[in-house]
Every structure is written in structure tokens, then in C-alpha cells.
Amino acid sequence: MRKHNFNSGPSVLPKEVLEQASEAIINFNGINLSLLEIGHRTNWFVDVIEESKLLVKELMQLNNNYEVLFLHGGATTQFMQVPLNLLNENETAAYCDNGIWGSKAISEAKIFGKVNVIASSKDQNYNYIPKSFTLPDNTKYLHLTSNNTVEGTQWHQFPETTIPIVADMSSDIFSRQLNFNQFQLIYAGAQKNMGAAGVSLVVIDKNILGKVSRQISPILDYRKHIEAASLLNTPPVFAIYVALLTLRWIKKEGGLAEMENRANKKSSLLYNTIDSLPLFECAIKKEDRSKMNAVFCIKEEVLQNKFLEECKEEGMIGVKGYRTVGGLRVSMYNALSLESVEAITMLMKNFANKYS
């Protein structure tokens, strides 16, 4: 039996995606060659990348200003590539400091230009999303992390502004319906809702490019990747193919509306269970709780370890909180079934009965 996989990323993927991906390693599309043996400029692979782009555009309902790229280096590379391409040395970008990943993005942006941290929830252990802030007119762009994987908060409503918004959607991409055209740049590492580690999705409104005066090495220049249709150098072919299979699966299952519906069901079951059991505690402000990563704890350390042992015995993995935060974390990405959430909530209830 497959484990109940609550990992935060890399994380659970649809079984049929894994089966199709393994088949492609042996015999890709019936051509008697492995996907890993064909050239990235062959029609076979160009078709993979082109269909992936079309599916991204379709699922996100992007208008014609947007370009879709598949790049290397994880979301972390985007912390640097965004300011490198968008921010001159004497210009200012606004950043929201809502968690560990956003604060890493801030440190990197400071290398390239000026950073105005307009909102931070660090004062309260990042347990809420700050909503009232003002954006000075001369702000080049606003950067935010739509879902804070480590801290368990999520933006449920985005700022209304004419200033370009850049969003790190690594941990909630394709999990809900949004007006994606309100963001000028979206990036996400693939290893949560989009497939295997090794590729990042970058969606850009091309009108924001070409406005910095510095020289940019071609491999880090979004415009060069657009010109080369994500084939500037050898792309991570296997990770892109798994992304294609996952995108096809999302579409087949009912698109973002259905993913959102499932995320609502799973997350409300889990949070209702936490809130109903005094042994467990979730310190995240209710309105800002993440539907992808629930971060909570059992106050007594000894019981927490006991709970983790019981999870392991029941075939539930990935429940331990992030190394610097501690506690518990249950990640509920698209491919996690409702049955897995039902299983852990049952375990929580039984555990609370035994130890309260």
C-alpha cells in the first residue's frame, strides 16, 4: 500500500503520473527510446515543452502578454533572477517578509537594488499575513510569497495595486482559482504541486522586461530564455515531462476549480480536527491559515514524539515540522487524497483520547 505522504516537497504525486513517467523512462511514447536518451531539440521533446506551456496558459487563463518558461535552479535561483532582471541599483522594490523563504528573497534582492520591507509578520513568529501597508509610488515591484510552506500561512486576498506584483507560488501553484493576470511575474519550484524537483515554472508578463541597465549573463536573462523557448541550453527534460503529466492530470481531474474544491475539503477537515482537540494547537491566525501546509503542535514535547512514532507505525510520513520551527506540519498538496487526511485526523482523535 502507498504511504500517506504529508511531505512538504518533494511530495506526493498522482500514482498515474508516476506510472506514466516510469514507462517513459523505458519507452517514451512507444518510440523504443527512453525519454532520457532523446535530444532536447528533437520534435519529440519540443512537443513536450510546447504542450506544457499551453496547459499552463490554459489552466491559469493567462492573456497573451504572458510567456511561460521552464528553468533550472529551483525557486531559490528566482530570488536572485527576479531583481537581476527587474531592479536597477538605484531603484526600490517592496518586499513582504512573511516567512523564511520571503526573507531569503529579501537578502538576495539587496545585492541588486534597494529593498523596502513594507510588511513583516516576524514580530509574531510569522503566524499571520500583514494586510495594511502602503506602497510608495516609485516602487518597481512588490514581491510576496503566496503560501508560506514553513510557517503555514497563505495569502487569501492579494493587494490591489498598479505596481507589478511578483509572487513566489512554489507551494500553492495550481491549487486554486485566481486571477493570475494580476501578477506580472509568478515563479514556482515544481516539486510540490507540479511534479518532480529540478525545474521551476516562471510566468512573466513580457512588458516588464528590458528595463534594467545592467548586463545580464544570457543564462540568467529571461528575455534570452523567451527567445529560445526554454531551450537556451539543455533543459531538465525529465522534470519537465513529469510536469506535463501532472498538468494533464490536473486538467483531467477538473482543473483549478476542482483542485480548490479538494483543498477546501481536506484543509477544513484537518483544521476543524485540530481546533476541536485541546491537545493540539494551531497558532496561525484563522483567516490566514494555509490550505496546503497546516503547521501545528502538541505542546508537550514527549507526546509530540510519541505522536510522530504512531504516524510512522500507521504509514504516515512527513509530519515533522520544519527543522527551525519544530512542531508538526501536514502538507496537503493536490495529489494528497482526502482519505489520507481522514486517516491522520482519525489518528489524532484516537491519540487525544488516549493522552488528554
171 binds ligand PMP (CB under 6 A): yes
Grid cell, residue 82, equals: 527576479
Judged by CB, which is closer to ligand PMP: 69, or 75? 75
Helix, strand or coil, per DSSP, at residue 63? coil
Grid cell, residue 16, equals: 498515474
- What is the smallest separation between the CB atom of 126 and ligand PMP, expressed in angstroms? 12
Q: Which residues are known to be catalytic?
A: 101, 168, 192
Site for ligand PMP in 4-33 (CB under 6 A): 9
Rule CB under 6 A: choose which of 33, 38, 46, 76 binds ligand PMP. 76
Site for ligand PMP in 83-142 (CB under 6 A): 101
DSSP 54: H
The DSSP secondary structure of 290-352, one letter per residue, reads -SSEEEEEESSHHHHHHHHHHHHHTTEE--BPPTTT-SEEEE--TTS-HHHHHHHHHHHHHHH
Judged by CB, which is closer to ligand PMP: 9, or 152? 9
Please choose, out of 44-52, 166-174, 208-216, 251-259, the segment that lies near ligand PMP by the rule CB under 6 A.
166-174
- What is the smallest separation between the CB atom of 103 and ligand PMP, expressed in angstroms? 11
Within 8 A by CB and 6+ apart from 313, the residues are none
Using alpha carbons, list the distances in angstroms from residue 295 to 10, 77, 113, 127, 160: 17, 26, 34, 10, 28
- What is the smallest separation between the CB atom of 73 and ligand PMP, expressed in angstroms? 7
- What is the smallest separation between the CB atom of 76 and ligand PMP, expressed in angstroms? 3
Question: Taking CB positions, which residue lies at the least distance from ligand PMP?
Answer: 74
CB 159, CB 119: distance < 8 Å: no
Rule CB under 6 A: choose which of 5, 120, 127, 149 binds ligand PMP. 149
Total of chain residues touching ligand PMP, rule CB under 6 A: 11
- What is the smallest separation between the CB atom of 98 and ligand PMP, expressed in angstroms? 10
Which residues are 298's β-sheet partners? 280
Helix, strand or coil, per DSSP, at residue 172? coil
293 binds ligand PMP (CB under 6 A): no
Residues that bind ligand PMP (CB under 6 A): 9, 74-76, 101, 145, 149, 168, 170-171, 189
